[in-house]
Amino acid sequence: MFRKLFIISLILLTSLSLAQNERNLRAGGYARVYSMGMNPYIVDLDNIKTNPAYGGQFSNMIWGDIGSSAASPYDGTGQFAGFNYRINKMISVGALLTRNDFQSLSIGKLDPGGLVAAINSVPGVTVIPLDNNLELMGSFNFDKLTLGIGIAYASTNDETKPATGSGTKNNASQIGINAGLLFNLSNTMNIDAALSLIMPSASYEPASGSKVDASQTFIMFDARMFMKMTSKLSLVPVVNFMTASGSIEAGGTTTDMTSYSQIGVGVGMHYQVGDLLIAGGPSLLIKSYTSPAVPNSSPELTSSQLVFPNWNLGAEFWFTDWLIGRLGYMAHTEQNTSESMATLTTKNEHTYTSFGTPDVRVGIGLRFGGFSLDATVNDDVLRQGLNLIGGGTPTLAYISASYAIP
């Protein structure tokens, strides 16, 4: 029996080795980026979420996340499904079906500012939260320039129609639009950039009384440049910007929601030699939150964060044609400033330093022909050793999967 199992295993491993003469590079996903320290200095399948122009580079694929085992009303947090298909040399199309626990901030992310929760905080208002977001995208290849565009939409509604009298009506919706480009400036310089717009809204119309409306707008911009310094080393400057604002109208009064803005700049390296990839570097983030003044209650209050240095480091090594190992590291220092009300016309200010908990991450990648599975390894698996036998510790913390059609 043992001999038969050994022979079967040998045949399978030999088949896999023969099938992997050409490595499958159309792979990756959130689990790969996460296990490499949320690295913004690498090119990955996950980049399609914010820049649809990458759909042309990662075409003829089925991909998605199996997610994590963290607490969730679903079977695995962060699950989604998508595909990209190349119609011809110039045009590729794709789609993503995401849920309200989507892990990436893009037009696939539902209600990123908690608008429905904010309108439901108004006494008597109940609006059904958004879920099941559908995103459609396309990319257009013009030799050295690739353009992409995506659009996403989700909605809910709840309406009562009594036999007599007036009923209630509530609804929520979100539309997202993004556009991106990949531009090959020269043999040593490439640019990718993307602009996203997310617009959630919600309303509640009671049987009697005034209607309640709420809306938000998110604008996001990301850009980076890969500047090849040598055949192995590239410098990767990145810049990103985001702003968010919204308002709630109830009882004839419009109240602004807390507004948010963020700008970030960083410079990292992308070093690849043979089977080894090392990428990472520091960045600076400036975040600002503004709470509007409330008449006869509180003045306008602001808080801000200066995050520097913010480290995102990662390494990846191909042990074999079908097994990849990954390491990542994240850490940051923050200078925080916040205001609190002293009187209706004066404010207290508090400035302090805080630190993000340094986080070492471990990941693996498996490649079997066109099938790819990428996962972040649960740290406890490495710490507990033999204690895992008969234990209940999950082995993998987050899983992404894809299949690249030959």
How big is the chain by its Cα radius of gyration, in Å? 24
**DSSP 8-state assignment for residue 298:** B
Per-10-residue mean pLDDT for the chain, 406 residues long? 43 44 81 95 97 95 88 71 95 96 94 94 91 97 95 96 87 97 94 98 90 96 97 97 94 89 97 96 96 85 94 96 96 94 85 91 94 88 61 77 93
pLDDT for res 18: 41
Of the candidates 280, 269, 236, 277, the one whose C-alpha atom is nearest the C-alpha of residue 365 is 277
Look at residue 49 and give its three-state secondary structure: helix
Of the candidates 193, 189, 195, the one whose C-alpha atom is nearest the C-alpha of residue 234 is 189
d(CA 147, CA 140): 5
Of the candidates 375, 373, 366, 372, the one whose C-alpha atom is nearest the C-alpha of residue 397 is 375
In sequence order, what are the residues at sequence separation of 6 or more whose Cβ sits closer than 8 angstroms to the Cβ of residue 389? Answer: none
Phi-psi region of 72 (alpha: psi -120 to 50; beta: other; left: phi over 0): beta
d(CA 32, CA 347): 45
Strand residues in 44-99 grouped as ranges (E): 61-68, 80-86, 91-98
* Host H or E run for residue 24: none
Q: How far is CA 122 from the centre of its chain?
A: 30
pTM, rounded to two decimals: 0.88
pLDDT for res 143: 87
Length in residues, the chain: 406
